[in-house]
Structure 1
Amino acid sequence: MTPRIRGNDYTALQPPALGSSWTPRLRVSVVIPAYADQVKLDLTLAGLARQTYPAGLLEVIVVDNGSEPPLRLPEIRPRDTRLLVCAAPGRARARNTGLAAATGDVIHWMDSDVVPEPEEVEAHMRWHHLAPYLSVTSYLRFTTAPLPRPADVAGTDDLAKLFEPAEPHAWIEDLVQRSDGLLRSPRPFSIHIGGASSVSARLFERAGPMDPEMILGQDTEMGYRLAQAGAVFIPDPQARAYHLGPSMRMRDSASISRVSHALVTDRVPGYRWLRTHPSRQWKVPQVEVLVDAAAGSYDDVRATVDGVLAGTVTDLAVVLTGPWDELAPEQRAPLKDPRLDLVLLRAHYTHEGRVRLVTAASDTQSPYRLRIPPGWVPEEDGIGRLLDVLRGRERGLVSVLLTEDAEGVTAARLERTEAFSRAALVVEEGEDLDDAVDEMFGTYWVDGETFGFHTAAEAPAYVNRRTAYRKQVQAQAEVERLTKEVERLRGQVTRWRDEAAQWRKSAVEFRREIGTLRRQVSALRGQVSALHRARGLRGIARGLGRPFTFKKT
C-alpha cells in the first residue's frame, strides 16, 4: 500500500541509512543542462562517476544548450552517459530535452557546475523507494576554491578536502529552519531548485515539462506545479554537493528578484503578496469555479456565474462545462431549439474574460477549485470566507451544505488541488476519493446559509455588491495605519528609554562627582581645623615666651 503523507509531514517515512544493506530497484536519470565551461562539466561527471548508487540503475543525460565549441563527454564519467544537443536557447528547453529522453523512474536535475558527494544520489533515491510523489532537494555549499582535476574528484570519498572552505545555501537552510524542516511551511514548493533536486517521473507526467517562457524563476514555477500534482517536498541534509562558484542570486540578488517576480506572479498564486492589484487577472487564478451549464436553466446558470463574478474575490476564473461543440452555429427557428439555454449562455459569456467554455473539466493549476450547482449564488464575501476556512485549517476539502431532503444532499465544494491530486495517486480500487483526501488533509462541512449561499430567487441584487470588499479594504488600511502608529510609538518609547538611560548614567556620574567633592571638602575642613588649632597653640606659646614646634607622635 502506498504511504499516505498528511500535508508535508514526510517524517512519517523512514528511509534506510546511507551505506546500509538496502536493495535499490528504481532507475534514476540525472539530467544536466550545460552551456560552455567544459572544465566544470568534467568535474560534475567525475563526481557522478563516484556514486554509491548502483551504476546499472543510473543514467546521465547531458544536454548541450548551444555551446561553442560544442561540449564533449570526458573520459571520467558514469558508464551510461549520453550527450544530447538542444539548439533552442534556454535552460528550460534544455531540461525538457533531457526529460523527454529520460528512461528513469526518477528525474534528478543537476547543474553542470555542481559536484555531488559520493552518497548524493543514494541519499535521494532512498526516499523515492518509499513513495511515488516525492521531491527531494540537496544541501549545496558554494565554493571558490581552486578547481581540482577530475581524477582528484573521482579518487576521493571526501570532497571537503578539495572544496572547503565553502558557504552554505543560506536562504534554503534558513527556510528549512524557520519552517521546522518544511513541516510548517505554507509553500514548501519554494525549496525546489534545478541545481540538485529529484522528482518522481510519475509526478512530471501530471505536472508537465518546464515552462520555456520562464527566463528566470522556472524552478519555483515548476515546484508550484509539482505541488499541485501532489508532491511532498523533502530537504535532505545528507544529500550534499558543491556548487562551483556563487549562484546567480548571490551575484545579483536585486535584479534576479525583479525579473523572476515579474514572471512568477502570473503563474504562482501561492505568492499572494506579489499580487497587489485588487482586481486584475492572472494567467493562473487563485480559484477556479466550476459550473455545469447543462445541469440548469439559462437563468439559474447565469445567476450563479454572475454572482461569482460580482464577489469580492476577483482572482478567479469560471469554467462552464457543457456540450458546446454540439451546438449548431445558427437555427432557422431559434426559439424552438431544444438547447436554446446553452446557446444563450454561450452568447452571454463568450466575450467575458473570466469565463471559459469547455466540454469537460481538466486538471487545474489553480490551488483551489470551487464546484457550485447551478441556481445557487454566493454572497459577495462568501467565497472569501470559504477560502479562509480552507487556508486556516489546511484542509483538503470544505463542503457547503445547501439542501438536504429525502432525495439526498445538495452541496458546493471547495477543493484543494494538491490534496485531490495526491489522493488520486494513492487511492485504491473501490475507495472513495474524498476518504483519501480526508485521511491525508482532512475535510470539513459548513452550513450554506451561514456562509451566504442563496438560491437565485433569494440572492441579493448585484448592485453595490462590493460593499464588504470596500469595508475590508478600509479595515485593512486602518490596521496598517494603527500598525504604523504602534511602530512610531515603540520608536518613541525606545528613544525615551535611551534618554532615561543616559540621564541615569549622568545622575550616577554626578553622584560620584558630588561624593568626590564632599570628600575633598571634608579633607579641607580637617586641614582648616588643624590650621586653626596650630595657630591657637602658637599664640599660647608666644604668650609664655617660648617657641612652639610640632612633634610627630
Structure 2
Amino acid sequence: MTVRIRGNDYTVLRPPAIGSWTPALTVSVVVPAYNGQDKLDLVLAGLAAQTYPQELLEVVVVDNGSAPALRLGDVRPELTRLVACETPGRAAARNAGLAAATGDVVHWLDSDIVLAPDEVEAHLRWHHLAPYLVITSHLRFTTAPLPSPRAVADGAAGLAALFEPAEPHKWLVDLVERTGGLVGDPRRAFSLHIGGATSVGAALLKAAGPMDTELILGQDTELGYRLAQAGAVFVPDPEARGYHLGPSMRMRDQDAIDRVSHAYIADRIPSYRWLRSHPARQWKVPYVRATVEPGGYDDVRATVDALLAGTVPDLVVDLPGPWSRLAPERRAPLTDPDLDLVLIKGHYLHEPRVRLTGEEPEPDTPEPYRLRLPAGWVPGEESLARLLDVAAEQGYGLVNVLLEETADGVVAARLERSAAFARAAIVAEPGEDVDDAVDDTFGVLWVDAETYGFTPAEGAATPTGRRTAYRARVAAEDEVARLKKEAERLRGQIARWREEAGRWRKGAVEYRREIGTLRRELAAAKKAQPVPRTGFAGALRRALSRRRRGKAE
C-alpha cells in the first residue's frame, strides 16, 4: 500500500539513516552544461565519490552548444554519458537529458554544484518510501579556489575543507523557516523545486511534463508548480548537502531576475495570486476550470452566465457535449431535435472563456481548482470566491455543495483541488472511491447551497447591464434577504421574551398572594401576641421561609 501523506506533511515518513539501508531504485543524474569545463570536472568527480551504488547511478551530461565542446573528465562515474543539445537554453538541455535518462528517479544537477559523497543516497532513501516526493538539497555558495578533481573524489578531508567558508542559499532557507519546513504553510512548497540539486520520481515527472522551453527564467519554479498539481510532496533535506561554485544568479541580480521571471510565470502559475492583480484579464493557465454538466439551453445559460459574471474572472468554463454531430438545419430549425445544443453552441461559440468540449474526458491541465456544477444551478456573485477561500485557507482537497436531495439521490456541486485528486490517484487502492483517498490526503468538506449562495435557475437573478450594476442589484437583494432573516430572528427573540415575561408575571401574582396571606397571618398573630415593629421584616422572611419549606415537602 502506498503511504498517504496529508498535505505536505512529509514528517510522517521515517527515512533510514544514511549508510544503514539497502538501495534498489536506479537514479539518473542529469547535468546540463554550457562551457565551464573546469567546474564540470569537479561535478563529475563529486559524483564518482557517491556512496550510492555506482551500478544504480547513471550520469547524463548535456552539452548545450559549448565552444569548445565539452568532454568527460577522467574522474567520473562509470555509467556516464555525454549527449548534445544544440537548442540554446537550460530548459531545452534538461529536456534532452530527461529524454536520455533511464532511472527510476531523475536528479537535476547544475554543472557548477559539487555534491557531498552521501548526497544522492540522502535523496534516494526518501524516494524508496513514496513515489511522489520531490527532494531538494541544502546548498552552500563558495568562492574558494577550485581544487583538483582528484581532491574532490578522494574526499579525505571532506568538502568543507575544500570549499568553506560558504554562504547558505538564503532564499530557500527563509522559505523553509517561515513555512514551518513547508508543513505549516504548504501553499508555496513547490517553490522548493530548483534545478541545482533536486530529485523527482521519473513517473511523477512524466505526469507533470518536461521543462517549459518558452520561458526565459523561472523554469524550475514553473515545473515545480506542475509537479504540485501532479500530486507531489516537497521535502527539504538538510542532510543532503552540496557546494555551489560561485554565487547564484539570484544572489547577484535578484530584482532583475524577478522582473523577467514574473512577466512569464504570472501566465503559468495561478497560485501566485499577487502577480494576477488585474481585475479582468485572462491567463494561459486559469485559476479555476469549471465544467457545467449538460442540460437545456436555458439552464446552461443561467449557470454559465452567472459564473462569467462572478467575482472570480480568472476561470474558464467547459461545456461537454456531442458538438461534432451538429449540422446546420436550413429548412425547419425550430423542429431540430438538437435545437438546445445548437443554441448553446451559437450563444458561446465566440466567448473566449467558454470551451465546447467533446464527450471524451479532457487531458489533465495544470489549473489548481476544478468546479463541477449541474446546469440549472446558479452560483451567486461571490459563491465561487467563498468556496475557493475555504478550500485554500483550510487545505481541503474537495468541497461539496449540497444543492438538493431527490428520490434519485444527492445533487451536488464539487470544487476539486487538482493536486489532491492527482495524489489520490497515486495512493488509491484498486476499487477504492477516489474521494476517500482525497479525504485521507487533503480532507473533504460538505457545505449547504443556501449558505454559499447557490439557487435554482428559476429563482436566480439574471446578470444584465454593467457588472457593477448587477453587483449592486445582487447586493441589494442579498441585503434584503439578510434583513428579512434578521427580522425573523428578532421576532423569534421577542416571542421568547414575551413568553418569559408571562412566566414572570404569573410568578409575581402568586408571590403577591403569598405576601398578602402572610400579612394577614402576621396581623392576626400580633393581636394575639404583639411583635416589635423593628422585627417585622425578619418575621416576614422567616414566615416565607417556613412556607417555602412546607411546599417543598
Whether the TM-score (by the shorter chain) exceeds 0.5 is yes
Task: Name the counterpart of 1:2.
Answer: 2
1:381–1:469 CA contact under 8 A, matched in 2: no
1:331–1:337 CA contact under 8 A, matched in 2: no
1:321–1:361 CA contact under 8 A, matched in 2: no
In structure 2, C-alpha distance between the alignment counterparts of 1:469 and 1:132, rounded to whole Å: 47
1:319–1:356 CA contact under 8 A, matched in 2: yes
Task: Name the counterpart of 1:137.
Answer: 136
Displacement of 1:332 in angstroms is 4.8
Task: Name the counterpart of 1:477.
Answer: none
Task: Name the counterpart of 1:273.
Answer: 274
The alignment partner of 1:258 has SS state of helix
1:150 correspondence with 2:149: yes
Task: Name the counterpart of 2:393.
Answer: 392
The alignment partner of 1:83 has SS state of strand
1:43 correspondence with 2:28: no
1:262 correspondence with 2:302: no
CA deviations on 1:334-374 (whole Å, 9 max, x unpaired) are 33332222222222212111111221333121111000001
The aligned length equals 470
In structure 2, C-alpha distance between the alignment counterparts of 1:471 and 1:440, rounded to whole Å: 41
Task: Name the counterpart of 1:497.
Answer: none
Task: Name the counterpart of 1:522.
Answer: none
1:142–1:169 CA contact under 8 A, matched in 2: yes
Displacement of 1:331 in angstroms is 5.2
Task: Name the counterpart of 1:437.
Answer: 438
In structure 2, C-alpha distance between the alignment counterparts of 1:376 and 1:364, rounded to whole Å: 25
2:302–2:462 CA contact under 8 A, matched in 1: no
Task: Name the counterpart of 1:172.
Answer: 172
In structure 2, C-alpha distance between the alignment counterparts of 1:35 and 1:423, rounded to whole Å: 40
TM-score norm. by structure 2 comes to 0.83
The alignment partner of 2:51 has SS state of coil
Task: Name the counterpart of 1:475.
Answer: none
Task: Name the counterpart of 1:248.
Answer: 249
Task: Name the counterpart of 2:58.
Answer: 59
Unaligned runs of 5+ in 1: 473-553
Task: Name the counterpart of 2:504.
Answer: none
The alignment partner of 1:438 has SS state of helix
Task: Name the counterpart of 2:161.
Answer: 161
In structure 1, C-alpha distance between the alignment counterparts of 2:379 and 2:256, rounded to whole Å: 42
1:269–1:367 CA contact under 8 A, matched in 2: yes
The alignment partner of 2:266 has SS state of helix
CA deviations on 1:189-219 (whole Å, 9 max, x unpaired) are 0111000000111111211111001110011
Residue pairs, 1:76-87, within 5 angstroms: 76-87=75-86
Q: What percent of counterpart residues are identical?
A: 66
The alignment partner of 1:187 has SS state of helix
Letter in 2 for 1:32: V
Letter in 2 for 1:312: T
CA deviations on 1:203-257 (whole Å, 9 max, x unpaired) are 1121111100111001110000000000000000000000000111111111101
The alignment partner of 2:342 has SS state of helix
Task: Name the counterpart of 2:225.
Answer: 224
Letter in 2 for 1:199: V
In structure 2, C-alpha distance between the alignment counterparts of 1:460 and 1:363, rounded to whole Å: 34
1:300–1:456 CA contact under 8 A, matched in 2: yes
Letter in 1 for 2:7: G
Evaluate the alpha carbon distance shift between residue 471 and residue 73 of structure 1 in structure 2; reply closer, same or farther with a 3 A threshold.
farther
Displacement of 1:471 in angstroms is 12
Letter in 2 for 1:450: T
Residue pairs, 1:87-166, within 5 angstroms: 87-157=86-156, 158-166=158-166
Displacement of 1:470 in angstroms is 8.0
Task: Name the counterpart of 2:238.
Answer: 237
CA deviations on 1:76-120 (whole Å, 9 max, x unpaired) are 111001111111111101111111111111110000000000000
Task: Name the counterpart of 1:411.
Answer: 412
Evaluate the alpha carbon distance shift between residue 49 and residue 265 of structure 1 in structure 2; reply closer, same or farther with a 3 A threshold.
same
Displacement of 1:49 in angstroms is 0.4
In structure 2, C-alpha distance between the alignment counterparts of 1:471 and 1:30, rounded to whole Å: 60
Displacement of 1:322 in angstroms is 1.6
1:45–1:78 CA contact under 8 A, matched in 2: yes
1:148–1:162 CA contact under 8 A, matched in 2: yes
2:229–2:366 CA contact under 8 A, matched in 1: yes
CA deviations on 1:10-31 (whole Å, 9 max, x unpaired) are 00100000111x1111010101
Evaluate the alpha carbon distance shift between residue 340 and residue 173 of structure 1 in structure 2; reply closer, same or farther with a 3 A threshold.
same
Evaluate the alpha carbon distance shift between residue 337 and residue 111 of structure 1 in structure 2; reply closer, same or farther with a 3 A threshold.
same
In structure 2, C-alpha distance between the alignment counterparts of 1:229 and 1:468, rounded to whole Å: 38
Unaligned runs of 5+ in 2: 475-553
1:46–1:154 CA contact under 8 A, matched in 2: yes
2:31–2:108 CA contact under 8 A, matched in 1: yes
The alignment partner of 1:257 has SS state of helix
Task: Name the counterpart of 1:427.
Answer: 428
Cα RMSD, aligned residues only: 1.7
Evaluate the alpha carbon distance shift between residue 376 and residue 212 of structure 1 in structure 2; reply closer, same or farther with a 3 A threshold.
same
The alignment partner of 1:439 has SS state of helix
